[in-house]
């Protein structure tokens, strides 16, 4: 590894270069794309959670004005193949074949049944109202426990039961650990279904050129290269003739990582009609058919010895997957991650984890920002507070006693998590300084004396970031953990960068620009970064698992260092100097005294137009491509701690967050502003999970929260100020030392809020174990506490 370079741009809070354009309304999202002869897709979706299509008559619908086609699955079978969610990571996973439009039967409310293609979206919707369908309702399995009950209706015909997957993990000797424990605390945590609610919904414009046999899909998505592989396979088009272009994206949060049946149907429609097809999910479709997350019931116990050391965990987790396992990554990813992350901040040797995943006649659950972590943190930090309470000690003291030791690296805990470079003590210390804990506790005390119910809660977390190739590579899923970057020196002396990470609104292009600027030695505003086009950027992973800084920026840095060497070599040959004596600073080649010798733009001009000025036979390489895959450490553990101060209205049950604090160690911080805003956004989503967001189905399987009037997202007016501090423990396996930061905000916020609510309710003998915390649940808990 080369010695650390001087950082000028890296570490600075620079605003995102693209923000001004977006704020000025110059963004180009997929719905802004209008192609000649483009038609619009609309879907008729199943109104029932489970029903057979007894009869379908499309005669009248197809004759409606402005309509080009109304398709059922039988019409698309010659164009696209069905798919099945399978993964070597989840052997034995039960998930039947999925089709883009229902194959004679619907297994969840919102499942696409028919697709109309028309001159306008309105005309397409009009046509669907004229489709004649006779439905034959089938019994539905809806609730998580109900779906797993012995007499539950089968989610799909022929299933003996609705178990999609089970797993048991054993570490150490949990039976003995619990038998010998001085203290065992237990909780039963429930997390409701929710979803990511991107500001910009899912959407695409698909364009099939039958002459060139080329498929172009403008796609609001996190992973263009992954989708290129899927589209090639599904439509039988050679992958090099599939181009996926990701324009500006208004948020991904994990829900734009998957293959959605409606999107595949829209592409099939474009191929059949040989006309561009636009499909933009509206908010009703988003809430009903975007990937859902959560719906977990977790029974967990924690054993401690007489000195208050955690010795083990026993976790029994149930998770509702919906009608199928989401393609391609699989619905068990969330619950499996959650199970193994229980207890992650702490040292413990004994573990038993049991996981049961249920199929249900509901939309699929899948990966949402901070996959699984909030569940594990909620379970762990609730248990920690219960234990501290039972021992009559401070929760922070119990945490400190049990933190994974920083010296013992790597530390593998009883659940098999491999932890290194974590800094829980330092983060907690930073939090205590940021919060002024004694003062906040005094605020809580004096408010309580005045009859108000304030509460203070803390949650520590580990966030597994920047996943390595072994995870999906071994599972046989075409999701890359590597990144590639191409760099070229422009004639103007600017550096153009094309990267395989995807900009989805998180600002990763700014982090890359800073890495390239310092790596090469040019001003950051002279670096242009392009992402999101399989025809223009090299292959790589895109946006997932908080990998942008840890993998994408590392690739950019390594590329930049190579380009710098090439530049200095060319300059040395031109100037007849020793390239070791030259340096590139702010776009100028300087000698060892720091005196300017050559502008980078001049070198680029010579290479382009006056190559004869260079020594005979020398070919300067002012553009290059670099590929980077981390070859060790499957995950980079980031860690941190959050705290919440809030007030519970004991009469109405309403919870009002007053302040929130987040301390995060994501290794070297490339751009503090980006990290802080990622954390704040994540905290807000975590507060949403704790207090507001719930996709509620009736017992009959009908979604009751189908609009944003019923599905409550966190709004600015209710959000507290969120104060952020950094601890930096650089990862020593890379040049930059960055770990992931994009999801950490979500990981601990629900637990911090739940702990704070329980702190507020404790003097009244009440406690809660379910999120979101509804005001009715607060009053019921207070009633029970009386």
Q: Distance (Å, rounded) from C-alpha 102 to C-alpha 100? A: 7
**Is residue 704 at the binding interface for another protein, with CB under 8 A as the rule?**
yes
Do 126 and 60 form a contact (C-beta atoms < 8 A)? no
Do 274 and 173 form a contact (C-beta atoms < 8 A)? no
- Four-CA torsion 503, 420, 329, 145, nearest 10 degrees: -120
- C-beta of 86 vs 702, nearer to another protein: 702
Closest contact distance (angstroms) between CB of 219 and another protein is: 22
Do 261 and 98 form a contact (C-beta atoms < 8 A)? yes
Neighbours of 166 (CB within 10 A): 11
The DSSP symbol for 132 reads E
- Residue 112 tokens read as 């696409």
Closest contact distance (angstroms) between CB of 718 and another protein is: 5
- C-beta of 691 vs 741, nearer to another protein: 691
The H or E element spanning position 262 is helix 261-273
Q: Whats the size of the chain, residue-wise?
A: 786
- Residue 92 tokens read as 């034995």
The dihedral sign for the CA sequence 422, 424, 430, 435: positive
- C-beta of 323 vs 655, nearer to another protein: 655
Closest contact distance (angstroms) between CB of 378 and another protein is: 20
Closest contact distance (angstroms) between CB of 423 and another protein is: 36
Q: Distance (Å, rounded) from C-alpha 290 to C-alpha 267? A: 18
Interstrand relation of 67-71 and 112-118 (parallel, antiparallel or unpaired): antiparallel
Residues 75-134 contacting another protein, CB under 8 A = 120-122, 125-126, 129
**Is residue 654 at the binding interface for another protein, with CB under 8 A as the rule?**
yes
**Is residue 652 at the binding interface for another protein, with CB under 8 A as the rule?**
yes
- The phi-psi region of residue 164 (left if phi > 0; otherwise alpha if psi is between -120 and 50; otherwise beta) is alpha
**Is residue 774 at the binding interface for another protein, with CB under 8 A as the rule?**
yes
Q: Contact region for another protein (CB under 8 A) — 75-83, 423-431, 530-538, 648-656?
A: 648-656
Closest contact distance (angstroms) between CB of 543 and another protein is: 29
Place of tokens 């020398």: 618
- C-beta of 64 vs 508, nearer to another protein: 64
Question: Is 478 exposed, middle or buried, given 0-12, 13-18 or 19+ CB atoms closer than 10 A?
Answer: middle
Closest contact distance (angstroms) between CB of 278 and another protein is: 13
Closest contact distance (angstroms) between CB of 44 and another protein is: 12
- C-beta of 502 vs 705, nearer to another protein: 705
For another protein, which residue of 57, 134, 175, 282 counts as binding (CB under 8 A)? Answer: 282
**Is residue 692 at the binding interface for another protein, with CB under 8 A as the rule?**
yes
- C-beta of 283 vs 573, nearer to another protein: 283
**Is residue 696 at the binding interface for another protein, with CB under 8 A as the rule?**
yes
- C-beta of 426 vs 779, nearer to another protein: 779
Q: Distance (Å, rounded) from C-alpha 537 to C-alpha 549? A: 17
Closest contact distance (angstroms) between CB of 171 and another protein is: 39
Q: Distance (Å, rounded) from C-alpha 585 to C-alpha 87? A: 49
- Residue 732 tokens read as 């020593």
Q: Contact region for another protein (CB under 8 A) — 308-316, 354-362, 519-527, 774-782?
A: 774-782
Residues 709-748 contacting another protein, CB under 8 A = 709, 712, 714-715, 717-718
The DSSP symbol for 675 reads H
- C-beta of 122 vs 274, nearer to another protein: 122
Closest contact distance (angstroms) between CB of 121 and another protein is: 5
The dihedral sign for the CA sequence 569, 571, 576, 581: negative
Closest contact distance (angstroms) between CB of 651 and another protein is: 4
Number of residues that bind another protein (CB under 8 A): 29
- The pattern of x and - marking residues 604 through 643 that bind another protein according to CB under 8 A reads ----------------------------------------
Q: Contact region for another protein (CB under 8 A) — 267-275, 334-342, 598-606, 701-709?
A: 701-709
The DSSP symbol for 83 reads B
**Is residue 691 at the binding interface for another protein, with CB under 8 A as the rule?**
yes
- C-beta of 63 vs 122, nearer to another protein: 122
- The phi-psi region of residue 330 (left if phi > 0; otherwise alpha if psi is between -120 and 50; otherwise beta) is left
Closest contact distance (angstroms) between CB of 678 and another protein is: 23
The DSSP symbol for 4 reads P
Closest contact distance (angstroms) between CB of 15 and another protein is: 26
Do 748 and 639 form a contact (C-beta atoms < 8 A)? no
Closest contact distance (angstroms) between CB of 43 and another protein is: 11
**Is residue 651 at the binding interface for another protein, with CB under 8 A as the rule?**
yes
Q: Contact region for another protein (CB under 8 A) — 142-150, 634-642, 696-704, 720-728?
A: 696-704
**Is residue 775 at the binding interface for another protein, with CB under 8 A as the rule?**
yes
Helix segments in 647-707, DSSP class H: 672-691
The dihedral sign for the CA sequence 418, 421, 425, 427: negative
Closest CA to 468 of 533, 568, 542, 545: 545
Closest contact distance (angstroms) between CB of 296 and another protein is: 19
**Is residue 779 at the binding interface for another protein, with CB under 8 A as the rule?**
yes
- C-beta of 672 vs 775, nearer to another protein: 775
Interstrand relation of 655-665 and 721-726 (parallel, antiparallel or unpaired): parallel
Give 445's contacts (C-beta < 8 A, 6+ positions apart): none
Q: Would you tell me which residues interact with another protein (CB under 8 A)?
A: 120-122, 125-126, 129, 282, 284, 651-654, 691-692, 696, 698, 704, 707, 709, 712, 714-715, 717-718, 774-776, 779-780
């Amino acid at each position: 590894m080369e010695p650390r370079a001087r950082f000028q741009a890296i570490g600075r809070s620079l605003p995102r270069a693209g923000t001004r354009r977006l704020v000025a309304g110059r963004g180009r999202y997929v719905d802004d794309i209008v192609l000649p002869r483009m038609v619009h897709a609309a879907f008729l979706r199943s109104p029932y959670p489970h029903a057979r299509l007894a009869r379908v008559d499309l005669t009248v619908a197809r004759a409606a004005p402005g309509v080009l086609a109304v398709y059922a699955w039988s019409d698309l079978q010659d164009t696209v193949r069905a798919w099945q969610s399978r993964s070597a990571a989840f052997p034995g996973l039960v998930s039947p074949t999925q089709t883009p439009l229902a194959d004679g039967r619907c297994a969840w409310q919102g499942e696409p049944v028919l697709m109309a293609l028309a001159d306008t979206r309105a005309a397409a919707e009009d046509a669907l109202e004229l489709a004649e369908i006779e439905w034959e309702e089938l019994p539905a399995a809806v609730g998580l426990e109900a779906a797993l009950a012995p007499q539950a209706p089968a989610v799909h015909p022929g299933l003996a039961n609705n178990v999609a997957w089970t797993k048991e993990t054993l570490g150490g000797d949990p039976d003995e650990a619990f038998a010998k424990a001085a203290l065992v605390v237990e909780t039963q945590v429930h997390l409701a279904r929710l979803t990511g609610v991107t500001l910009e919904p899912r959407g695409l414009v698909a364009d099939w050129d039958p002459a060139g046999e080329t498929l172009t899909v403008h796609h609001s998505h996190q992973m263009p290269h992954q989708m290129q592989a899927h589209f090639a396979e599904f439509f039988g088009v050679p992958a090099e003739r599939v181009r996926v272009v990701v324009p500006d994206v208004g948020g991904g949060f994990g829900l734009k990582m998957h293959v959605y049946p409606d999107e595949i149907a829209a592409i099939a429609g474009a191929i059949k009609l040989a006309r561009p097809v636009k499909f933009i999910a509206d908010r009703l479709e988003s809430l009903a058919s975007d990937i859902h997350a959560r719906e977990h019931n977790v029974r967990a116990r924690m054993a401690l010895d007489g000195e208050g050391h955690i010795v083990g965990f026993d976790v029994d987790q149930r998770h509702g997957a919906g009608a199928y396992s989401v393609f391609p990554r699989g619905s068990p990813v969330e619950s499996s991650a959650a199970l193994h992350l229980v207890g992650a901040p702490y040292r413990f040797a004994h573990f038993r984890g049991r996981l049961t995943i249920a199929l249900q006649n509901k939309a699929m659950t899948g990966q949402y920002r901070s996959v699984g972590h909030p569940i594990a943190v909620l379970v762990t930090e609730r248990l920690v507070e219960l234990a501290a309470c039972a021992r009559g000690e401070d929760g922070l003291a119990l945490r400190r006693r049990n933190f994974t030791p920083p010296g013992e690296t790597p530390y593998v805990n009883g659940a098999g998590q491999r932890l290194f470079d974590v800094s829980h003590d330092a983060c907690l210390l930073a939090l205590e300084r940021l919060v002024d804990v004694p003062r906040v506790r005094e605020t809580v005390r004096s408010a309580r004396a005045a009859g108000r119910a304030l509460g203070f809660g803390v949650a520590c977390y580990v966030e597994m970031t920047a996943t390595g190739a072994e995870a999906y590579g071994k599972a046989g899923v075409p999701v890359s953990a590597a990144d590639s970057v191409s760099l070229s020196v422009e004639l103007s002396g600017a550096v153009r960068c094309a990267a395989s990470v995807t900009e989805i609104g998180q600002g990763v292009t700014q982090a890359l620009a800073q890495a390239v600027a310092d790596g090469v030695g040019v001003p950051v505003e002279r670096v242009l970064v392009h992402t999101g086009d399989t025809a223009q950027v090299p292959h790589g992973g895109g946006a997932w698992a908080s990998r942008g800084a840890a993998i994408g920026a590392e690739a950019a840095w390594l590329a930049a260092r190579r380009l710098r060497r090439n530049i200095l070599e060319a300059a040395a040959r031109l100037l007849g100097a020793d390239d070791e004596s030259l340096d590139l600073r702010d776009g100028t080649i300087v000698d060892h005294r720091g005196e300017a010798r050559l502008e980078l733009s001049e070198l680029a001009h010579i290479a382009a137009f006056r190559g004869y000025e260079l020594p005979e036979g020398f070919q300067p390489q002012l553009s290059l491509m670099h590929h980077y895959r981390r070859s060790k450490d499957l995950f980079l553990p980031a860690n941190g701690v959050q705290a919440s101060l809030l007030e519970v209205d004991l009469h109405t049950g309403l919870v009002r967050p007053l302040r929130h604090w987040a301390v995060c160690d994501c290794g070297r911080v490339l751009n503090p502003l980006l990290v802080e805003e990622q954390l704040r956004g994540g905290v807000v989503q975590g507060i949403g999970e704790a207090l507001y967001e719930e996709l509620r189905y009736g017992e009959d399987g009908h979604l009751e929260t189908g609009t944003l009037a019923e599905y409550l997202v966190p709004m600015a007016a209710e959000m507290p100020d969120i104060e952020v501090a950094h601890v930096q423990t650089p990862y020593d396996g890379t040049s930059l030392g960055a770990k992931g930061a994009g999801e950490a905000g979500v990981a601990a916020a629900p637990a911090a809020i739940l702990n704070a609510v329980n702190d507020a309710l404790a003097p009244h003998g009440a406690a809660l174990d379910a999120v979101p915390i509804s005001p009715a649940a607060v009053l019921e808990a207070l009633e029970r506490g009386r």
